[in-house]
Amino acid sequence: QEPFLFNDTLFNNVAFGLCGTSMQDLSKEEKLKMVEEACREAYAEEFISKLPQGYDTLVGESGIKLSGGQRQRIAIARSIIK
């Protein structure tokens, strides 16, 4: 099964996991800390750190700019951040 990613940045794709929680209104800086931690736990931080725009990288429609494994890691990070 292919994980769903939004045509948005890596940051926003992971931070979307906070929607509907008490943490959805945190500042961007606070959310970034949570996103980074979730990506570390999902073993996505290494490939993200190698991207020129890091967490601001646009993933394309359905994450087309990422490999299948990378898309799965981002989806895992989104579920971890909750």
In a domain, 5, yes or no: no
Mean pLDDT for all residues in the chain: 96
**HSE (side-chain half, CA atoms, 13 Å) at 31:** 20
In a domain, 2, yes or no: no
Q: Could you give the CA distance from residue 60 to residue 29 in angstroms, rounded to a whole number?
A: 24
Q: What is the DSSP string of 23-80?
A: TTTS-HHHHHHHHHHHHHHTT-HHHHHTSTTGGG-B--GGGTTS-HHHHHHHHHHHHH
In a domain, 3, yes or no: no
In a domain, 4, yes or no: no
The pTM of this model reads 0.94
Domain that residue 34 falls in: 10-80
Q: How many domains does the chain have?
A: 1
38 and 78 in contact (C-beta within 8 Å)?
A: yes
In a domain, 29, yes or no: yes
In a domain, 60, yes or no: yes
What average pLDDT does the segment 7-21 reach? 97
Confidence at residue 2, expressed as pLDDT on a 0 to 100 scale: 85
